Amino acid sequence: MTANGDSVVVTGALGGAGRWVVDRLVDGGYDVVGLDRRLPEGDVPAGADFFAVDLTDGGETAELVADAAPDAVVHLAAIPDPLNHAGSRVFENNVLSTYAVLDAAGRAGARVVWASSESAYGFPFADSVLEPEYLPIDEAHPLRPEDPYGASKVAGEAVAAMVARRDGVPVASIRPSWIQYPGRYRVADVRAAFDLDDLADAPDGAPDAEGVGNFWSYVDVRDFAGMVKAALRADLDGHEPYLCHAPENYLGVETARLFEALYDDGPDASALEGEASAFTTAKAERDLSWSAEHDWRTAEDEAVDGPEFR
- What CA–CA distance (Å, rounded) separates 200 from 264? 9
Domain of 31, CATH number, reads 3.40.50.720
- pLDDT for residue 303: 93
Q: Which parts of the chain register pLDDT below 50?
A: 1-4, 207
CA distance 138 to 85: 29
- Is residue 17, in this structure, part of any structural domain at all? yes
For residue range 253-279, list pLDDT tens digits in order: 999 999 999 998 999 999 999 999 999
Encoded amino acid at 50, one letter: F
Q: Which of 30, 99, 149, 185 is catalytic?
A: 149
Angstrom distance (rounded) from CA 108 to CA 168: 11
CA distance linking residue 251 with residue 266, whole number of Å: 20
**pLDDT confidence of residue 1:** 36
Provide the domain limits for residue 124: 7-183+216-250+278-299
86 and 141 in contact (C-beta within 8 Å)?
Answer: no
Q: Looking at residue 310, what is its pLDDT?
A: 93
Predicted local confidence at residue 3, as pLDDT: 44
Cis-peptide, bond into residue 136, ω within 30° of zero: yes
Separation of alpha carbons 212 and 221, rounded Å: 21
For 206-218, what is each residue's pLDDT tens digit? 545 567 999 999 9
Residue 175 lies in a domain: yes
Q: How far is CA 60 from CA 33, 52, 74, 155, 162, in A?
A: 14, 10, 17, 22, 21
pLDDT of 203: 63
In a domain, 172, yes or no: yes
Angle 239-7-291 from CA coordinates, rounded to 5°: 50
Phi, psi of 285 (to 5 degrees): -65, -40
pLDDT reported for residue 105: 98
Would 88 be classed as within a structural domain?
yes
Q: In Å, how far are 37, 112, 168 from 239, measured between CA atoms?
A: 28, 9, 10
Has 149 been annotated as catalytic?
yes
Any domain includes 194: no
This model's pTM is above 0.75: yes
Q: Assess if residue 210 is contained within a domain.
A: no
Q: In terms of DSSP H, where are the helices of 28-121? A: 58-68, 87-107
Answer yes or no: is 71 within a domain. yes
**Cα–Cα distance measured from residue 164 to residue 158, given in angstroms and rounded to the nearest whole number:** 10
Strands of 31-36's sheet, edge to edge?
A: 48-52, 31-36, 7-11, 72-75, 111-115, 171-176, 239-244
| 108 belongs to a structural domain | yes
* Residue 209 confidence (pLDDT): 59
Give the total number of structural domains in the chain.
1
